Amino acid sequence: PVSIGMSMDIASIDTISEINMDYTATIFLRQRWTDERLCFDGNKSLSLDGRLVEMLWVPDTFIVDSKKSFLHDVTVENRLIRIYPNGTILYAIRITTTVSCSMDLTKYPMDKQTCTLQLESCKT
């Protein structure tokens, strides 16, 4: 098994829709794991062009209850790939996602809602 470290920052919550029972947020997702096949001699990390991600194994991470999502690509894809001498890979992306959120509006306008943002990964 591969241990994957993850962190996520919410850059913005763009919309909340009571009618559609969802919200839209922009997030920065960072994942880190080690692939010993990518070890190299040196003491500095290598930053790679985001297009090279197609040549690497990356975790199959997805957003639970996402209705639609997209990766930002202006002016280039918003991806960072950094490889460290010990084979550790840092993979960071910027995503905007619309996520379902069941809301109980029976106490409107004094209601309080809790919406989650969950990430999962499939074992392959």
For 22-39, the pLDDT digits (tens) are 999 999 999 999 999 999
Extents of the domains making up the chain: 4-101
Q: Are 106 and 23 in contact (CB under 8 A)?
A: no
Please give the full DSSP string across 40-79, using - where no structure is assigned: -SSSS-EEE-GGGGGGS----EEETTEEEEEE--SSS--E
Q: Report pLDDT digits (tens) over 54-95.
A: 889 999 999 999 999 988 888 877 899 999 999 999 999 999
Whole-number Å distance between alpha carbons of 93 and 71: 7
The correct CATH number of 4-101 out of 3.30.420.40, 2.70.170.10, 3.80.10.10, 2.60.40.10 is 2.70.170.10
Question: Whose CA is closest to 94, among 109, 113, 122, 73?
Answer: 73
Whole-number Å distance between alpha carbons of 108 and 82: 47
